[in-house]
Amino acid sequence: MAGVLRMSSLFVRTLREDPADAEVASHKLLVRGGYVRRVAPGIYTLLPLGLRVLRKVERVVREEMDASGAQEVLFPALLPREPYEATNRWSEYGPTLFKLVDRKGNDMLLAPTHEEMFTLLVKDLYSSYKDLPLTLYQIQTKYRDEARPRAGVIRGREFVMKDAYSFDMDEAGLDASYNTMRAAYQRIFERLGLPYAIVSAMSGAMGGSRSEEFLFPTAIGEDTFVRSAGGYAANTEAVTTPQLPEQDFSDVPAPELVDTPGAKTIADLVEMANRVHPRSDRPWNAADTLKSVIVTLTHPDGEKEVVVIALPGDREVDMKRVEASLAPAEVELASPEDMEKYPGIVPGYTGPGAVGPQARGGAVADGADDGAATGDGATVSVARLLLDPHVARGSRWIAGGNAVDKHVFNLVYGRDFEADGTIEAAEVRAGDEAPDGSGPLDIARGIEIGHIFQLGRKYAEALGLTVLDENGKTRVVTMGSYGVGVSRVLAAIAEQYHDEKGLVWPVGVAPAQVHILAAGKDDAVFSAAEDLATQLTAAGIEVLFDDRRKVSAGVKFADYELLGMPYAVVVGRGLANGTVEVRTRATGESEDVAVADAAARVQEILAAARASE
């Protein structure tokens, strides 16, 4: 990476104003600093400075992958439909998959991730247990038509990912490969200076068993995760609610339909319940009301289904948890038109009486097509009822009465109604007990920067990746899949390392380590700065040199602070006394150093910084 970067010729235009579409600091600063330019929503061009940072992130990732024994390959992004058809992902991936058609009419896609291709490649070339274990990786561009591209390159529709895949004979081998990748990820993020939490994750549409995410903790993160003092850590999507003990309902009176005019909110309903229908042991409260959330699922085949989710009224529904539980179906709140097809659903008053197994005549069914018989022999659609696990068997509820202004009191789960299944729908709250009993949960937000998971045999089975074992028997290979969001990491580093003036890159990923400012008008200033640039470059240090003649010192300082090289040497006023100023961007500290000692001093500072990063 030799060669001085000169501000006079570098392809960069810094901006003083934040871009109108940017909300998070890293996005604003990367645009203002001339690191990235937007082409379309979620689609960005990297300019020279941005590309330099990306290459450095890639280098760290590549070095750690190579050191862990993984071998690099490079797949195309443009792929045929068939492999993705074989694993069902052509449809399961839903609208996030970029699909296209070639001139001959063949369906093609832009790969969102490459499990199929790696599986087929290994199948193509390997056939014996002697060839395994094997881990392959690539650093490559991925395409996902994200519903909500966001925060610049943090959530792009085109982005750079490192994806690796391991191939093993058995579970023990998979565990070993997984642990090797896990350790490599820890080193990667440590070297990049990114704080991370390793949390249990849902394996989602990919299937498989062990699954962990590396989350960079930040308030602007879209992921929410929990931690307990006892060491439990999970994405909230993956938090499971421990099964509650069955409650004794022997003295709960029979259910009763009660008029509750005007009780629109849960608070209204509780207040009215205590007035018109008090219970003898204690007052009703919000946790005694059964709230229904009605959603429409769009299954991968395009089929739509309305589902009623019931949870205690004192908890909010967490749609991300719902979505994660119901993937690969897409989930949205049901529209009035969706609900109209289900006569049992009365918006605002839907309770278990008119949905779920009881409305279908008692039989527990698993699909929306199961109808209930009507008097004239026709069937009507009855929605499935899914219960949040905070609803214990035997518990007593006030629920919607399936008629406007009516609620049912003393409805007991297991006595008066059943459900078609359970779903983790309720929000996880700070203070909730960890599922493994390791203490109360703390909640934080983060950005997923890496994801490792054990795919198992799903892909190998679907695509026929088998090898012969020691006894000549055919065995299906077991796989792991490991991703790092390389371009997202670039932005995460910017998010972690900036201040109100601009970026503050760590030495390891900065486009250049030293920014030399020729801050004056005299030729002497420029020639001293030029000498210094030459010396530092010769010492293997990357230099950004602000050699612009007609630009004021003030503008140069502002650009230095915005662009965020970790160290600067200011050649200016002090030169008359034979000194230059060495500055540290992160702390704002500066020291005067004799011109002749400047290069050596900068090298010393850099060596110390590298040792501590």
Beta carbon of residue 114, minimum distance to ligand ATP (angstroms, whole number): 11
**Residue 483 binding ligand ATP, by CB under 6 A:** yes
Beta carbon of residue 181, minimum distance to Mg ion (angstroms, whole number): 14
Question: Of 85, 107, 145, 146, which lies in the binding site for ligand ATP, with binding defined by CB under 6 A?
Answer: 146
Q: Which two tokens stand for residue 4?
A: 């001085």
What are the beta bridge partners of residue 98?
110
The pairing of strands 474-476 and 466-468 is antiparallel
Residue partners of 534: CB distance under 8 A and separation at least 6: 4
Beta carbon of residue 159, minimum distance to ligand ATP (angstroms, whole number): 4
Nearest residue to the partner Mg ion, using Cβ: 451
Q: Are 482 and 165 in contact (CB under 8 A)?
A: yes
- Locate tokens 């020279």: which residue? 48
**Of ligand ATP, Mg ion, none, which one sits near residue 196, judging by CB under 5 to 8 A according to partner kind?**
none
Q: How far apart (Å, rounded) are the C-alpha atoms in residues 334 and 353?
A: 19
Q: How far apart (Å, rounded) are the C-alpha atoms in residues 271 and 278?
A: 10
Nearest residue to the partner ligand ATP, using Cβ: 485
- Angle of helix 523-538 versus helix 595-612 axis, rounded to 10: 40
Question: Which span (154-162, 186-194, 252-260, 549-557) binds ligand ATP, by CB under 6 A?
Answer: 154-162
Q: How far apart (Å, rounded) are the C-alpha atoms in residues 493 and 423?
A: 36
Question: Of 83, 221, 400, 485, which lies in the binding site for ligand ATP, with binding defined by CB under 6 A?
Answer: 485
Q: How far apart (Å, rounded) are the C-alpha atoms in residues 349 and 334?
A: 14
Nearer to ligand ATP, 116 or 416 (CB): 116
10 Å CB burial of residue 75 (0-12, 13-18, 19+) is: middle
Q: How many residues sit in the footprint of Mg ion (CB under 5 A)?
A: 1
Q: Are 296 and 336 in contact (CB under 8 A)?
A: no
Question: Which span (349-357, 427-435, 451-459, 470-478) binds Mg ion, by CB under 5 A?
Answer: 451-459
**Of Mg ion, ligand ATP, none, which one sits near residue 420, judging by CB under 5 to 8 A according to partner kind?**
none
Beta carbon of residue 206, minimum distance to ligand ATP (angstroms, whole number): 8
Q: How far apart (Å, rounded) are the C-alpha atoms in residues 367 and 105?
A: 36
Q: Residue type at 271?
A: E
Nearer to Mg ion, 147 or 468 (CB): 147
**Of Mg ion, ligand ATP, none, which one sits near residue 155, judging by CB under 5 to 8 A according to partner kind?**
ligand ATP
Beta carbon of residue 90, minimum distance to ligand ATP (angstroms, whole number): 17
Q: Phi then psi for 584, rounded to 5 degrees?
A: -105, 120
**Of ligand ATP, Mg ion, none, which one sits near residue 449, judging by CB under 5 to 8 A according to partner kind?**
ligand ATP
Phi-psi domain of 157 (left: phi exceeds 0; alpha: psi -120 through 50; beta: other): alpha
Question: Of 35, 118, 137, 159, which lies in the binding site for ligand ATP, with binding defined by CB under 6 A?
Answer: 159
Closest CA to 260 of 402, 397, 396, 404: 404
Beta carbon of residue 60, minimum distance to ligand ATP (angstroms, whole number): 15
Nearer to ligand ATP, 357 or 450 (CB): 450
**Residue 46 binding ligand ATP, by CB under 6 A:** no
Question: Which span (338-346, 443-451, 505-513, 589-597) binds Mg ion, by CB under 5 A?
Answer: 443-451
10 Å CB burial of residue 546 (0-12, 13-18, 19+) is: buried
Number of residues assigned to the chain: 613
Nearer to ligand ATP, 279 or 320 (CB): 320
Residues 486-515 that bind ligand ATP (CB under 6 A): 487-488
Beta carbon of residue 177, minimum distance to ligand ATP (angstroms, whole number): 17
**Residue 114 binding Mg ion, by CB under 5 A:** no
Residue partners of 156: CB distance under 8 A and separation at least 6: 42, 43, 44, 146, 149, 487, 488
Mask for 237-276, x = binds ligand ATP (CB under 6 A): ----------------------------------------
Tell me how far the alpha carbon of residue 261 is from its chain's centroid: 44
Residues 15-34 that bind ligand ATP (CB under 6 A): none
Q: Are 219 and 447 in contact (CB under 8 A)?
A: no
In the chain, what is the greatest distance between 2 CA atoms, to the nearest angstrom?
103
Question: Which span (381-389, 414-422, 480-488, 567-575) binds ligand ATP, by CB under 6 A?
Answer: 480-488
**Residue 138 binding ligand ATP, by CB under 6 A:** no
Closest CA to 62 of 71, 49, 75, 50: 71
Beta carbon of residue 140, minimum distance to ligand ATP (angstroms, whole number): 11
Question: Which span (155-163, 275-283, 350-358, 571-579) binds ligand ATP, by CB under 6 A?
Answer: 155-163
E strand segments, 169-288 = 197-200, 211-217, 223-228, 233-235, 256-259
**Residue 184 binding ligand ATP, by CB under 6 A:** no
Residues 438-467 that bind ligand ATP (CB under 6 A): 448-451
Q: Which two tokens stand for residue 425?
A: 């729908």
Beta carbon of residue 203, minimum distance to ligand ATP (angstroms, whole number): 10
Question: Of 321, 451, 458, 583, which lies in the binding site for Mg ion, with binding defined by CB under 5 A?
Answer: 451
Mask for 394-433, x = binds ligand ATP (CB under 6 A): ----------------------------------------
Q: Are 132 and 165 in contact (CB under 8 A)?
A: no
Question: Which span (102-110, 425-433, 482-490, 598-606) binds ligand ATP, by CB under 6 A?
Answer: 482-490
What are the beta bridge partners of residue 310?
292, 387
Expressed in angstroms, the distance from the first to the final Cα of the chain is 20
Residues 47-66 that bind Mg ion (CB under 5 A): none
Interacting residues toward Mg ion by CB under 5 A: 451
Interacting residues toward ligand ATP by CB under 6 A: 113, 144, 146, 155-156, 159, 161, 448-451, 483, 485, 487-488
